[in-house]
Each structure stands twice: as structure tokens, then as C-alpha cells.
């Protein structure tokens, strides 16, 4: 927190803040779909606060296009197949599932202000109620 946010590749014109950048493991899986739909459902409130929403996962652009269309997601999803952005935000981490260790995305969210400075960080996110917490912080920018 308080540090300059890494540059967003492919975020398009006006890629500066304020924005919410949320990292999720995989398109079209139960938790990731719930989180994306929660951000979709809260998007008008984020827009009213002047804050954009951007999702990031290692999935391909084609996968993102299918996911966006299937769930009518009206915000940008960035493809990070080489995990460069995930590494820049330190969310590409060692995880453990049923005793097996592997590398994966730690579900995390970053709130970046208009000057491009990270103002809030949520790591190890539990999806239920998360978007409400992020929106409350976004309204304080």
C-alpha cells in the first residue's frame, strides 16, 4: 500500500486510476464466476464513485471473451498468461490443496487511486461480501 501500481498492459486508453484491479484464478469456475458477477452487479455504484473495475487471470483473451459474453461482464478482463502482472503484484504464490503444493493465483484485489497509487489491498479474498467491502473503500477515494 502507498506504492505506485505496476503498469497495466492492454488496459486501453485512460488506463490511469482510480480503478479496482482484482486477480482471480480461472474463468468460469464457481468462485471466480460469483466474484465477477458480484463486480458486474455493483458496477453502476463503482462508476458513480468514478472507479473502473478490471479483472485479471492467466486465462487467454479468447477465454475471457467467452466468460464475458456468458455472464454479460461489462468491464475489462486482462489476460496474464505469463503471470507477469500477477508476479508484479505478488499474487502468483505457492498454494496447497489436499497436501499437494502448486503455484497459482491468490485471489486478491487492489484499489488504485487517480495518481496510480495502491490505496487498499485485499489478499486471500473470500468472495461473499467482498465487493461490498471494496466499494465502501472506493467511495472513500
Domain spans, the chain = 19-139
- Is residue 13 pLDDT above 80, yes or no? no
SS3 content of the chain, % helix, strand, coil (to 5): 30, 30, 40
CB 35 within 8 A of CB 128: no
What is the reported pLDDT for 80? 96
pTM above 0.85, yes or no: yes
Q: Please, is 25 exposed, middle or buried when counting C-beta atoms within 10 Å of its C-beta (0-12, 13-18, 19+)?
A: middle
Q: Known catalytic residues? A: 32
CB 134 within 8 A of CB 111: yes
What is the reported pLDDT for 7? 84
92-97 and 76-79 strand pairing: unpaired
* Mean pLDDT, residues 36-44: 98
Query: 19-139: what fold?
Result: Glutaredoxin (3.40.30)
CB 141 within 8 A of CB 49: yes
Beta strands in the chain (DSSP E): 19-23, 52-57, 76-79, 92-97, 100-105, 108-112, 118-123
Amino acid at each position: 500500500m502507498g506504492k505506485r501500481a505496476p503498469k497495466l498492459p492492454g488496459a486501453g486508453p485512460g488506463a490511469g486510476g482510480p480503478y479496482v484491479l482484482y486477480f482471480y484464478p480461472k474463468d468460469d469456475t464457481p468462485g471466480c464466476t460469483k466474484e465477477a458477477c458480484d463486480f458486474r452487479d455493483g458496477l453502476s455504484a463503482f462508476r458513480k464513485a468514478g472507479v473502473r473495475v478490471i479483472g485479471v487471470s492467466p486465462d487467454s483473451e479468447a477465454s475471457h471473451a467467452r466468460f464475458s459474453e456468458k455472464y454479460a461482464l461489462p468491464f475489462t478482463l486482462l489476460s496474464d498468461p505469463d503471470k507477469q502482472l500477477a508476479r508484479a503484484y505478488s499474487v502468483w504464490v505457492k498454494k496447497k490443496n489436499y497436501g499437494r503444493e502448486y503455484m497459482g493465483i491468490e485471489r486478491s484485489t487492489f484499489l488504485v487511486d487517480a495518481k496510480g497509487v495502491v490505496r487498499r489491498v485485499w489478499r486471500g479474498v473470500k468472495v461473499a461480501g467482498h465487493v461490498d467491502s471494496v466499494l465502501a473503500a472506493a467511495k472513500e477515494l
